[in-house]
């Protein structure tokens, strides 16, 4: 048989083969994608692909929309800035409409958050997100959300079901129209239907970001490296500096509230890992704590390595929220004022969606969390509230004795509960994960010493029921009652109302204020050390939580001021354990500043509270700089040092972007910490690389700030100054002089020129990255004032990425309750939308917009939602 003529020449064959191969590859990659490269054909199809997200980027117009499931029509109106008001005939319709509206504007953000919590991020982002998925599935946000949903009843259950239907109504419309947010089209990973568990997972993600810490792991490493004596001295239970607790006592000492042993195990219902499986295998070593041996330290380091692979801000990092309230003589015209600005990672889109909600029996406005029904921070017709993180010790670690699939607890071997997960990975092989769970919680380390985490975020908590309760509360009693079932995260719920002042009804005076730090504060038996990993044998199990009557709280204090700025909420004589100075408590500079500013003022207005929220005064500088000036008074200085010192001597302690003195101060303080502590760290070989933010010497370590502040002010000859060799600076003055010289030298090399040109904004900026992580969709970096100690906090380093995520000031008087607020972002997640970043300029300039009142209807734009 002869080969056809056209195939005789090898060149033609090669051309044919090449054409087939290239065409197949091109169509295959375009149609199905390859690895993490998406299916670009449908993704970039200009008629149906990601380009159609342009339709969603247009300004909103008034229209009627069909939303299945609504019993009656619902009105949604928007101000020209995008602030939404939803008015419904009943609460179910209200939450359904809220789900629909939030999905309209934040669907990809909501999907991303639930994926994060449910360990499905790698399906979207590929192998680089696998570490996050494995961590989350081990930790158990999904298991806890499922446990919570099984226990959710009443209003919260109806709210979750209605909300889920609203989200799904939007998903169905988008699917029918094909106008998906671009991220779905580009990845080909479209959102599955929304469920109530998804909302509870998102609630869990926020809990994790506020409450999950590595404190005991880091402490174990520091203790091992620096020695127990130094670790205890430098990271004490009660910090060395002066405290400004909002609950100064006297304190109740009541019996602990008992809790189940497997309180926070995250094991699925009915699968508690407490059953005995075999006879006792000899006595368990009676290690209660403090036995931070090599195995425990190694396990701590291993876990820190794993956590280091997580995206930024996935676990708790910064303690910088503010919430204050004033009443009585402090308030112009009487009544009360409340200011709240939670300091969280600042992203585009923002974590918040501003909304006013109105239905019979439910009138509330403020900041809501996309994915969760209700308003988290806001006001109703009687009260206003805001939250700051309590920062207490809520993450305990236990070193477990394990053999095979069993662990040893309370004298017997017991079967661990094992949960299996399948993790889809975009562009990679699917991964199988098995999670072992003990009575204390999930095992987080996979080799060597097994470490379980007993995290209060895994306690099923009816946060949504509590939230809906405070949304509807009208006085302090109802407010506290609503929080009775709040378990985690522990939060300082700062409160103000326009009710008659307790005991003063006859005078007509209105406006009560208070703080109630709701949540579970785990307690362990005496002799155990919860700031370190503890033995899992049973002796150091949580034996109860602080009773409700005794948790930190204050109501209508004589000073007419309450201020919660993440400082330690109680004084040194508080009879329960709430954590050490290493537990992310703020050093208290903002709280002291707030108490001083508000306490010395009278006739305050909303503008005054807003001014304090935007304050750039560094209270620590105000204390330390005079000492520095004194220390350098007779020193021989270079011309640059003299100029820098001159800037400091005339400084008003404002960390404004234009201030050269701010640059000198911050660089000096960082170098001062290094001058004093770095020799100890080097001598102890502290493995800083395991967790740079929490192990490295920097202003980020509040304990070190507190130590050095206290030593400089009250014990300038502390032995620490001399260093481990004993040949370091003789005292605080010598250390300050050395640090100042280095700071000026550093800045001369970095910025050049005269110190008068060293504006803070040249080295310090803020940036709001995109939630998607995409370059070009964030905001900044932009030169900015502030530092971690200013009320207008800037956290995350010299390019700050965390700070005031929402600012609100509420005015509560006889005429009612109103509020103004702003957040750095916009209501829409679509970068092409005029509402993507339109609120940032207002936020940046310290301006606010009126928070739409519940029940209000804006004339600017209106939707009518019909069932």
Partner 1 sequence: MARRLAVFAVVALIVAGTAAAGLWFVPFVAGVAAGLLPLRRPGIVPAATLGAVAGWALPLWILALRGLPAGATARAIAALAGIPPYAAVAVVVTLLLAGLQTLAGAWLARALAPRRSSAANGDLGREPDEVGGVVPGPAVDR
Site for partner 1 in 155-184 (CB under 8 A): 178, 182-183
Tell me which of 32, 34, 58, 333 binds partner 1, using CB under 8 A: 58
Give just the sign of the alpha carbon dihedral 92, 95, 101, 103: negative
Minimum Å distance from CB 26 to partner 1? 5
Part in contact with partner 1 (CB under 8 A); list of ranges 40-48, 272-280, 539-547, 564-572:
40-48
Part in contact with partner 1 (CB under 8 A); list of ranges 8-16, 430-438, 548-556, 715-723:
8-16
Annotate each residue in 401-430 with x if it binds partner 1 (CB under 8 A) or - if it does not, as one string.
Answer: ------------------------------
How far is the first Cα of the chain from the last one, in angstroms, to the nearest whole number?
73
Contact by Cβ (8 Å): 296, 533 = yes
Nearest to 708 by CA among 233, 224, 320: 233
CA dist 421 and 377 (Å) reads: 35
> Binding of partner 1 at residue 53 (CB under 8 A)?
yes
* Rounded-to-5 percentages of helix, strand, coil across the chain: 40, 20, 45
> Binding of partner 1 at residue 51 (CB under 8 A)?
yes
> Binding of partner 1 at residue 708 (CB under 8 A)?
no
**Cis previous bond, 250, omega within 30:** yes
Minimum Å distance from CB 593 to partner 1? 39
Contact by Cβ (8 Å): 415, 437 = no
Tell me which of 30, 210, 240, 518 binds partner 1, using CB under 8 A: 30
By C-beta, is 44 or 431 nearer to partner 1? Answer: 44
Tell me which of 693, 713, 751, 774 binds partner 1, using CB under 8 A: 774
Minimum Å distance from CB 53 to partner 1? 6
Tell me which of 40, 142, 423, 771 binds partner 1, using CB under 8 A: 40
- Centre a 10 Å sphere on the Cβ of residue 756 and count the other Cβ atoms it contains: 12
> Binding of partner 1 at residue 827 (CB under 8 A)?
no
> Binding of partner 1 at residue 41 (CB under 8 A)?
yes
Q: Residues 6 or more apart from 475 whose CB is under 8 A from it?
A: 382, 383, 497, 499, 512
> Binding of partner 1 at residue 12 (CB under 8 A)?
yes
Tell me which of 2, 46, 250, 432 binds partner 1, using CB under 8 A: 46
By C-beta, is 12 or 685 nearer to partner 1? Answer: 12
Report which secondary-structure segment, H or E, holds 812: strand 807-813
Contact by Cβ (8 Å): 154, 465 = yes
> Binding of partner 1 at residue 575 (CB under 8 A)?
no
> Binding of partner 1 at residue 26 (CB under 8 A)?
yes
> Binding of partner 1 at residue 61 (CB under 8 A)?
no
Nearest to 131 by CA among 310, 288, 273, 326: 310
SS (H, E, C) 317-378: CCCCCEEEEEEHHHECCCCEEEEEECEEECCECCCCEEEEEEECCEEEEEEECCCCCCCCEE
Site for partner 1 in 309-328 (CB under 8 A): none
Tell me which of 60, 137, 164, 186 binds partner 1, using CB under 8 A: 186
By C-beta, is 178 or 753 nearer to partner 1? Answer: 178
> Binding of partner 1 at residue 845 (CB under 8 A)?
no
**Cis previous bond, 781, omega within 30:** yes
The DSSP line for 391-404 is ----EEEEEE-EET
Tell me which of 54, 71, 281, 798 binds partner 1, using CB under 8 A: 54
The overall longest dimension of the chain from CA atoms, in Å, is 115
Minimum Å distance from CB 187 to partner 1? 8
Report which secondary-structure segment, H or E, holds 181: none
Site for partner 1 in 618-647 (CB under 8 A): none
Interface with partner 1: number of residues (CB under 8 A) = 48
Question: What's the token pair of residue 62?
Answer: 């008034």
> Binding of partner 1 at residue 199 (CB under 8 A)?
no
By C-beta, is 49 or 245 nearer to partner 1? Answer: 49
Applying CB under 8 A, the residues found at the interface with partner 1 are 6, 9, 11-12, 14-16, 18-20, 22-23, 26-27, 30-31, 38, 40-51, 53-55, 57-58, 178, 182-183, 186, 770, 772, 774-777, 830-833
């Amino acid at each position: 048989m002869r080969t056809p003529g056209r195939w005789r020449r090898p060149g033609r064959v090669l051309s044919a083969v090449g054409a087939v191969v290239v065409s197949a590859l091109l169509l295959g990659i375009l149609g199905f994608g390859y690895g993490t490269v998406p299916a670009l054909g449908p993704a970039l199809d200009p008629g149906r692909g990601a380009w159609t997200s342009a339709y969603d980027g247009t300004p909103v117009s008034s229209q009627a929309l069909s939303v299945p499931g609504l019993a009656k029509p619902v009105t949604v109106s928007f101000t020209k800035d995008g602030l939404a008001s939803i008015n419904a005939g009943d609460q179910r319709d209200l939450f359904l409409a809220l789900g629909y509206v939030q999905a309209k504007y934040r669907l990809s953000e909501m999907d991303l958050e639930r994926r994060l919590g449910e360990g499905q991020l790698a399906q979207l982002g590929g192998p680089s997100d696998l570490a996050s998925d494995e961590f989350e599935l081990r930790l158990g946000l999904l298991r806890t959300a499922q446990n919570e949903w099984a226990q959710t009843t009443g209003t919260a259950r109806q709210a979750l079901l209605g909300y889920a239907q609203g989200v799904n109504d939007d998903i169905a419309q988008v699917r029918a129209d094909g106008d998906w947010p671009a991220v779905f089209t580009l990845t080909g990973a479209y959102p599955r239907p929304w469920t109530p568990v998804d909302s509870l997972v998102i609630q869990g993600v926020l809990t994790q970001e506020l409450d999950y810490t590595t404190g005991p792991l880091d402490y174990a490493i520091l203790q091992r490296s620096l020695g127990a004596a130094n670790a205890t001295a430098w990271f004490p239970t009660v910090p060395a500096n002066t405290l400004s607790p909002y609950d100064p006592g006297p304190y109740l000492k009541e019996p602990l509230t008992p809790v189940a042993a497997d309180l926070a195990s995250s094991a699925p219902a009915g699968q508690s890992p407490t059953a005995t499986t075999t006879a006792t295998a000899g006595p368990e070593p009676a290690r209660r704590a403090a036995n931070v041996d090599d195995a425990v330290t190694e396990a701590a380091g291993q876990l820190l390595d794993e956590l280091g692979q997580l995206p930024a801000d996935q676990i708790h990092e910064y303690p910088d929220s503010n919430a204050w309230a004033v009443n009585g003589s402090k308030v112009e015209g009487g009544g009360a004022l409340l200011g709240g600005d939670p300091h969280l990672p600042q992203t585009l889109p923002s974590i918040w969606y501003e909304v006013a909600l109105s239905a019979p029996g439910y009138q509330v406005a403020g900041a809501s969390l996309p994915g969760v029904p209700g308003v988290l921070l806001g006001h109703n017709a009687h009260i206003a509230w805001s939250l700051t993180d309590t920062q207490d010790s809520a993450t305990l670690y236990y070193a477990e004795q394990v053999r095979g699939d069993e662990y040893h607890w309370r004298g017997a071997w017991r079967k661990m509960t094992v949960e299996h997960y399948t993790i889809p990975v975009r562009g990679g092989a699917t991964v199988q994960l098995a999670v072992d769970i003990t009575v204390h919680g999930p095992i987080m380390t996979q080799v060597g010493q097994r470490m379980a985490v007993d995290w209060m975020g895994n306690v099923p908590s009816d946060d949504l029921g509590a939230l809906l309760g405070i949304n509807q509360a009208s006085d302090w009693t109802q407010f506290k009652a609503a929080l009775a079932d709040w378990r985690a995260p522990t939060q300082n719920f700062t409160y103000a109302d326009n009710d008659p002042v307790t005991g003063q009804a006859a005078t007509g005076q209105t406006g009560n204020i208070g703080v109630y730090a709701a949540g579970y504060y785990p307690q362990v038996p005496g002799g155990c050390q919860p700031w370190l990993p503890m033995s899992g044998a049973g002796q150091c199990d949580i034996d109860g939580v602080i009773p409700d009557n005794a948790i930190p709280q204050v109501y209508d204090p004589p000073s007419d001021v309450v201020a919660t700025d993440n400082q330690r909420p109680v004084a040194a004589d508080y009879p329960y354990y709430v954590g050490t100075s290493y537990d992310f408590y703020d050093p208290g500079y903002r709280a002291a500043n707030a108490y001083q500013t508000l306490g010395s003022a009278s006739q305050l207005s909303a503008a005054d509270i807003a001014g304090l929220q935007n304050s750039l005064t560094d209270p620590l500088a105000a204390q330390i700089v005079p000492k520095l000036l004194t220390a350098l008074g007779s020193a021989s200085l270079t011309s640059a040092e003299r100029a820098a010192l001159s800037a400091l001597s005339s400084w008003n302690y404002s960390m404004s972007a234009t201030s050269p003195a701010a640059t000198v101060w911050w660089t000096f303080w960082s170098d001062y910490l290094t001058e004093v502590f770095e020799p100890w760290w080097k001598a102890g070989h502290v493995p800083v690389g395991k967790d740079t933010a929490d192990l490295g010497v920097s202003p980020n370590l509040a304990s070190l700030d507190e130590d050095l502040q206290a030593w400089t002010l009250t014990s300038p000859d502390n032995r620490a100054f001399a260093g481990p060799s004993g040949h370091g600076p003789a005292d605080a003055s010598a250390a300050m002089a050395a640090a100042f010289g280095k700071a000026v030298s550093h800045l001369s090399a970095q910025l050049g020129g005269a110190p008068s040109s060293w504006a803070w904004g040249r080295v310090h900026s803020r940036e709001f990255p995109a939630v998607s992580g995409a370059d070009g969709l964030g905001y900044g970096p932009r030169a900015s004032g502030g530092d971690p100690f200013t009320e207008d906090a800037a956290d995350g380093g010299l390019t700050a990425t965390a700070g005031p995520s929402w600012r609100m000031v509420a005015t509560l008087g006889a005429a009612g309750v109103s509020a103004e607020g702003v957040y750095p972002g916009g209501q829409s997640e679509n970068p092409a939308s005029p509402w993507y970043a339109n609120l940032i300029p207002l936020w940046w300039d310290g301006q606010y917009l009126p928070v739409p009142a519940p029940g209000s209807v804006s004339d600017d734009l209106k939707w009518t939602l019909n069932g």
